[in-house]
Amino acid sequence: MPLLLGGVAVASFVIDQRSTAVVVGALAVLNVLMTSADRPRSRVQQELRLLRVGVGTVAGVAVAFVVLVGLARGLEPRDVALVGTAMAIGAIPAGLSAFVHGLLSQVARQLADAHVGVSSLHDVETLGAVTSILSRTTGILTLDQLTARTLWYQGQWIRVAGSGFSKHGSILRTAGEPNPDFQTLAVALTLAGDAT
């Protein structure tokens, strides 16, 4: 029986006579793919980079202007170099990253106070105006409800309905078709997870 993740077979398992799920295929390949993938820069990181480049360019032009004016007025080159260096150091937005991280930490704290689990600031950076979110240990972000919509079982897709953590739901099928026997699947899922 294949185990699918995002429509990709990542492992397979069989159920023996004692109803124990035995994993046949390993998840090592998936682990290698997940750990070797580069995390793209978030929108906030991209915008901060553009801001730093813009501020740096304006500061560089301003420093060059002040140095040229100082030299044109006949000031000592040593004094002009000192003023130019001080301006360049003062123009670097060193506190910008600390300020943004502090702001994101405050947002993460507010989410934690609202009993929302957030695993990293990177998750918070991409939230926008979301008010309720949960970050699973796998990095999957979900809106405060874990809801299955389709199942792949015995070579066919089965649509299901239900809401969040409710134990009530239904199997959606074409009229006249019998429900598949879910006992094997139920045993495998029960043994694979400890959720109730």
- The pTM is what? 0.38
If one compares 88 and 3, the residue with the highest pLDDT of the two is 88
Q: What is the pLDDT of residue 187?
A: 82
Q: What is the mean pLDDT of the chain?
A: 70
pLDDT digits 0-9 by tens, 50-85: 887 888 888 889 999 999 999 999 999 999 988 888
42-51, 110-119, 142-151: range with highest mean pLDDT: 42-51
> What average pLDDT does the segment 119-132 reach?
56
Considering only CA atoms, which of 194, 190, 160, 171 is closest in space to residue 15? 190
Q: Which residues pair with 11 in a beta bridge?
A: 3
Cα four-point dihedral sign 131, 137, 140, 146 = negative
pLDDT score for 45: 72
| Least confident among 121-135, 151-165, 166-180 | 121-135
Q: What's the whole-number mean pLDDT along residues 104-125? A: 68
Nearest to residue 51, comparing CAs of 91, 108, 106, 104? 91
C-alpha distances in Å from residue 190, one per residue of 21, 117, 164, 187: 10, 25, 18, 5
pLDDT of amino acid 129: 44
Residue 48's pLDDT is what? 76
Output the pLDDT for position 53: 84
Cβ-count burial 59-84 (b if 16+ within 10 Å, e if not): beeebeeebeebeeeeeeeeebeeeb
Q: Could you read off the pLDDT of 128-162 as tens digits, one per residue?
A: 544 444 555 555 555 556 677 787 777 778 888 88
